[in-house]
Amino acid sequence: MTRRSLRRALLSALTAVAVTLALAPLIPSATAAPTDYQAEDATISQGVVESNHAGFTGRGFVNYNNVVGSYVEWTVTAPAGPADVTLRYANGTTAARPLDFTVNGVAGAVGITFPGTGAWSTWASKTVRLTLAAGTNKIRARAATADGGPNADVLTVNPTSDDTQPPSAPGNLAVSNIKSNAATFTWTAAADNVGVVRYEINRGGNVLKVVDGSTLTATVDTLTANTAYDISVGAFDAAGNASQQSNVVAFTTPPSGDTQPPTAPGNLRSTGTSSNSVSLAWNASADNSGSIAGYDVYQGATKVSTTNSLTATITNLMPSTQYTFTVKARDPDGNASAASNAVTVRTAGTGTGGIPAYDRDIAKVDLGWSVAFLPDNSGSALVTERDRFEVLLVTATGQKTTLGKVPGTVTTTGEGGLLGLALSPTFSTDRWVYFYQTAANDNRIVRMKYENGALGTTAEPVLTGLAKNRFHNGGRLRFGPDGKLYAGVGDGQNSGNSQNRNSLNGKILRINPDGTPPSDNPFFSTGGNARYVWGLGFRNPQGLAWDSRGQLWASEFGDNSQDELNLVQKGGNYGWPACEGTIGDCGGYIAPKRTWSTAQAGPSGVEIVNDWIYIAGVTGSQLWVTQINSTGTGVGTPQAVFSGRWGRLRSITKTPDGALWLTSTNNDKNGGTPTVLDNVIVRLKFP
């Protein structure tokens, strides 16, 4: 996509982050000039200086021996504080070659992966932020695998500001000159103690355009006709600190005047059946506008599903019954295509499991973000209301009681508020309920007592200091089979947080119930916030669930290309911001087990029942269903269920009696409509 390509190019040129894995250099510091240190002049252990590959600087480069522990150690001079340290390297193999960087022999190495560059004469650069002492420092880059390190050319040390103060939010955002495919935005400058280096124009947390810090107006020309938008702007300084978002402007682009319908979808076919469902797939339509707004699935003359993907699963059918389906495409101006070929399918005679059916409505709520069932066999659950900051008790029959609010919760006029909740593994004795909330200055995890049918009035902090922003707050809480509390934390709209182990953002965290870090966490010995990190390199993870093997699966919102379903490993790095799904600089990172386009999924809550995975899709407005394979290492082809039926789906939770509760959160982009109960909790059943 043009928008995606533009974003990646601009970010490569402009983004300064705490730990950078992109191949572009960081923005130069204003505090000191960068200094180059040649590898051939450094201390070398189990390596040799060579000059047999072209393109090096200086007198040559260092070829690491292919053993764990070979290293190059540079002696550098710098002021005290952080420095961006860039290694120019070549790797002519297809295998990534990771290095561990240490300073002055201090424990807590920073690991950086150096993927193949295509040839030994092709050079690239990677940057890591290290903290240096005043005066002389020894920076060692040690091979972490038996493949040794890449060929090392020159190390550039660029002392940076220790600025941690973010800019103020840009003001007075306004939109003008709205066309079917473009609009112009203007805003007033953000203030910063050092200086603003760039502005990002966002739609729902996805970046549409990036401009430099001296530009206060921009035209975005990648919009779609006849489409609703809500736009905000954020500011960044040279240290990578992100402001809060500006005010939001909401508008709808006008129709383009196009009257030509799309081509008909092709090759409609059945991809699977059960006793109560039929799964369908088809080939994409084409339109003169260049985009398709969606597809409508018809059962006879009745529309039964609306989706923007190329698959749908129709449920609530009768066993051993024949059904006929067609599909039509719509363009952004509402022109409908001719019908696809018809396909006639007979459902199975006996239930095969996996695909749920609609059972009944449970309750109307505002924005039911998370659900946790009480362990008292009543079938009742606690539900968080994101924008009302309330905790509800909802019975199996749909009776609702407002138990109270979580004190200190605020909105971000976006995705923040009262988000995840989880019950203590020993709830029957300790009565603790854990909440993920947006507070005045941060996101945080707190806990409150729920005793004798009443929620306490005070909240005890469990973990604080999770950076907040209008979007990318994460928010899911789940206790794992090990009795530890896991939290999915977004990057706070600052992608540099995701690779910085000392930041709590862009991570999946693992926490003892009392808020202390478990000593068996992968980076516990590093100290600081790294002690809480279980996995890193995430953008906005919102779904957590465990399979029958005790493996953790997590869903993640992508940027402009791919959403992800990940199998999360202890200490695993999933690549953001260098890698989105399978796109970008993905060498050395753990690949997702499944990806979707960001228009199809927007995966939030995840649940697993008998190794079937259920994923609530926000953006795609559908429930995705897939089965874990027999080895536990991957999943089958996901099937889309209830496409367009309830809109934006947020959470999916198994009930004590073997069903599922599904919640919707429509009208949630700009802080919702907390005075209106216009979303649902529905119950799904298995055949």
Tens-digit pLDDT profile for residues 376-432: 889 999 999 999 999 999 999 999 999 999 999 999 999 999 999 999 999 999 999
Q: What is the DSSP annotation of 341-356?
A: --EEEE--SS---SS-
* 483 vs 567: CA distance, rounded Å: 19
- Interatomic CA distance for residues 412 and 219, integer angstroms: 26
The pLDDT assigned to 107 comes to 64
Is pTM beyond 0.75? Reply is: no
Handedness of CA 632, 651, 467, 478 (dihedral sign): negative
With 60 as the cut, is the pLDDT of residue 477 above it? yes
pLDDT tens readout for residues 273-301: 888 889 999 999 999 999 999 999 999 99
Beta bridge partners of 313: 279, 641
27 pLDDT above the threshold of 50? no
DSSP of 402-454:
EEEE-TT----SSS-SEEEEEE-TTHHHH-EEEEEEE-SSSEEEEEEEEETTE
Has residue 154 got a pLDDT over 50? yes
- Return the higher-pLDDT residue of 517 and 610: 517
Averaged pLDDT, 561-579: 96
Residue 472 known to be catalytic: yes
- The mean of the pLDDT values for the chain is 91
* Residue carrying structure tokens 């250099």: 25
pLDDT digits (tens, 9 = 90+) for 95-111: 889 998 999 987 667 77
Of 1-5, 80-84, 364-368, which range is least confident? Answer: 1-5
Most confident listed range (16-30, 314-328, 410-424): 410-424
Give the residue with greater pLDDT, 108 vs 208: 208
Q: Which of 472, 645, 669, 683 is catalytic?
A: 472
Tokens representing 126? 């990677």
Nearest to 502 by CA among 530, 531, 522: 530
Q: Whole-angstrom Cα distance, residue 150 to residue 90?
A: 6
For 602-622, how does the pLDDT look when each residue is reduced to its tens digit (9 = 90+)? 999 999 998 999 999 999 999
Phi, psi of 530 (to 5 degrees): -60, -25
pLDDT of residue 440: 96
Phi-psi region of 256 (alpha: psi -120 to 50; beta: other; left: phi over 0): alpha
Q: For residue 18, what pLDDT is reported?
A: 32
The residue among 526, 530, 527, 552 whose CA lies nearest residue 541 is: 552
pLDDT tens, residue by residue, 633-669? 999 999 999 999 999 999 999 998 889 999 999 999 8
Give me the pLDDT at residue 7, please.
40
What pLDDT was estimated at residue 133?
86
pLDDT tens string 522-554? 999 999 999 999 999 999 999 999 998 999 999
Inform me whether the pLDDT recorded for 332 exceeds 50. yes
Single-letter code of the amino acid located at 336: A
Asked if residue 307 lies in contact with residue 622, where contact means CB atoms within 8 angstroms, the answer is yes
Supply the pLDDT for residue 79: 84
| pLDDT value of position 11 | 38
d(CA 577, CA 538): 8
The bridge status of strand 432-438 relative to strand 454-455 is unpaired
pLDDT in tens, 211-263: 999 999 999 999 999 999 999 999 998 777 899 999 999 999 999 999 999 99
Give the CA dihedral 668, 506, 124, 1, nearest 10 degrees: -10
